Structure 1
Amino acid sequence: MPVALITEVLSVIAPLFVLAGFGWLWAKRGRPFQVETVSLLATNIGTPCLVLHSLLSSEINRAMLGTMVLASMIALAVVMAASALALRLLGLPVRNFISSLTFPNAGNAGLSLCLFAYGAEGLALGILFFAVASLGNWTIGQSIMAGRGNLREVLRSPMIYAILFGILGNLVALHPPLWIMRSLQVAGGIAIPLMLLTLGVSLATLKVQDLKNGLILSLLRLGLGIGIGFGLSWFLGLEGAARGTFIIQCAMPVAVVNYVFAARFNRDPAATASLVVISTLLSFATLPVLLLAVLR
């Protein structure tokens, strides 16, 4: 195996491990960390600015933009259908776990890996998947857990407008003034570090209370994601950065936001916390092999 390839893989995963590790150590040492405040900063300021800057500054042709969005929608729909069937066969409540199995951590971990693996192009392509997953989770996923739709809360999210405006601006080749782009770049720069630190803190504070089901469902999440990522990228003829970012995003573990939704709507938050921790730890173990396959 070429040394250059191993070095490249290490350069991709090292920042994720280091920043998440700092967050884990910070929490374990009992240092103060306001997860809700930091998450709000990342979600309402950092990530929307990162999305806008990336989409407005990247040159993605319309065909690739449409292909990535379509591929993301198909992947999430297939995972949701397969997960619903698996949950019924396992005798577990579909409404409690379907969102966790369907919508991966395409933000905290996925975007950072896409950036470190493929640079600005990978970040822009990864954001397209993240945009579809975020829209789906804040609309369909949250509605399933709540048992009802909540359009008002969806419309209050800055992410929705950043995604829509960013994609529209990319399509019409909008070029905002330099001061706007630099402001977006600086504000967006806080997103990935804050998300990775929060991921580490979450791993240190969330507890595993349902090891058996957590392990089964975590393997299901990762297995479905990896299988559909490779299979659909081959079927759609994705190549290069598009193929790599799509597979990476599909293969991510359970997103932390699913625990937030489970706690808010009383959908077995303890079991969801177990899913977040176990699936993330498993993904850390499989990431080197996955990146070797993707980057090769």
Structure 2
Amino acid sequence: MNTPSFHGIQAILDLERIDKDIFRGRAMESKVFVRTFGGHVAGQALVAATRTVDDDKRVHSLHGYFLRGGKATEETVYLVSRVREGRSFATRKVEAMQNGEVIFSMQASFHIAGDEGPEHRDEMRRVPDPEDIKFKTDEMPASLKGLISEWADWDIRVVPSASYESDERSSGQQVVWFRSKQRLPDDDTFHICTLAYMSDMTLLFSSMVPHPGHKVQMASLDHAMWFLRPFRADEWLLYDQSSPSAHAGRALTQGKIFDRAGNLVAVTVQEGLTRTLRDGTSELPTPKQAPEG
């Protein structure tokens, strides 16, 4: 695979087309991850799907399952199936492969541009502006500190819980401002695929807010997203996260993503492994510690 002439997220999302519906994505360059970061494979899978859809349609949702722990140092091959080709909607299935095994399976749905209907949206929570947040990592879990240092291309600012009004009915809440530090191409689809990558950052950690100090083995199990309105991933986005349930070593998390003007641009739901840490295991499991399918 030829190395792209650019770096960061543009290099990650620059897939090589090796056949009509077969693509290859580059490996990760990481000092932290042994297993492939979920956002990495989800973002690349979405790029593969969009490359097989006509320009008059835009992705509006994806649903994916992380089936095996991929190896961060290895390239990933993406096989796209054209499930549906309608006038208003198209559906694609993508399987991400390493060493002959599926590590991630995703379906993505695309909708024709220009449809009209009623409009409404939830309001954005009142929080401090990102410029007013003093970035403190000493209060974060050790595993999250390491990940934020790994994500050097992203500006991630966790909003202090004392600076916004919390929902008393919600057990786990976390609010994060984030954006790409790089100026990204003026391409709506590229920003959507970038947000698919970014959406796996920090989300599962919202499930640990009610359990400070409790060490768990963490891994994304599935991930769903709905893309609602246009946005730019290199401008500030507010990720309003909550965790309605944790039980039996799994936690459910959800997030609303707003642009700075308060428009709800995307929604995420994810279930993750939050198994109480056993002796000899790490909070971010290696491929051998990944959950079995």
Return the TM-score normalized by structure 2: 0.25
Q: TM-score under structure 1 normalisation? A: 0.25
Q: Which has the higher contact order (CA 8 A, sep 6+)?
A: 1
